[in-house]
A = this chain, B = another copy of it.
Amino acid sequence: MNSEIEKIRDYFIEIAGSMAGNLGLNSIAGQMYALLYISSEPVSLDEITDILKVSKGNVSVNIRVLERWGAVKKVWVKGSRRNFYKANEDILEIIKNRIKEGITKRTKEIDSELSRAEEMLQSAGKQLNKEDKKITDVYKQKIADIKKLSAKVEGLLRII
């Protein structure tokens, strides 16, 4: 491959890496995805190692992260014992899935913890004076509001 083209490819990879870094993701994972995305042929793990100049351990770990996200897919290449990968090109879908997965997992956890807090409020409520009763009432209201918010967010996710 012409080295001028390589420069362009590497520039593209660099953009993707810093983009990923900005979003709080691992920038090597971003670079790896970009390399697979821009390549018309499947790429092997050691080609990734070569092109990105990172250790194969690093590549090994991050390719599995990308696989778990559904961002890349292993493909079989006739006559080679190596693992080759190609990108899932539907980036929007990848992002959506990651957001959905992350948020539904968390809203569930948080809801159950908030319910626990509500129980605590309930059982504490019995032996309180007027002043403290007022505070717990505020707490109840706020916690209920957060639960509503959480339901709303889940609803939003469904329509995306």
Residues of A participating in the B interface, judged by any CB pair closer than 8 Å: 1-2, 4-5, 7-9, 11-12, 15, 19, 22-24, 37-38, 40, 89, 91-92, 106, 110, 113-114, 116-117, 120-121, 124, 128, 132, 135-136, 138-139, 142-143, 145-146, 149, 152-153
Are B132's CB and A2's CB within 8 A? yes
Question: Secondary structure of the A side of the interface?
Answer: helix
Are A9's CB and B92's CB within 8 A? no
Contacts of A124 in B (CB 8 A): 2, 4-5, 8
Are B19's CB and A142's CB within 8 A? no
Given A5-B132, A22-B106, A132-B2, A139 contacting B91 (CB threshold 8 A): no
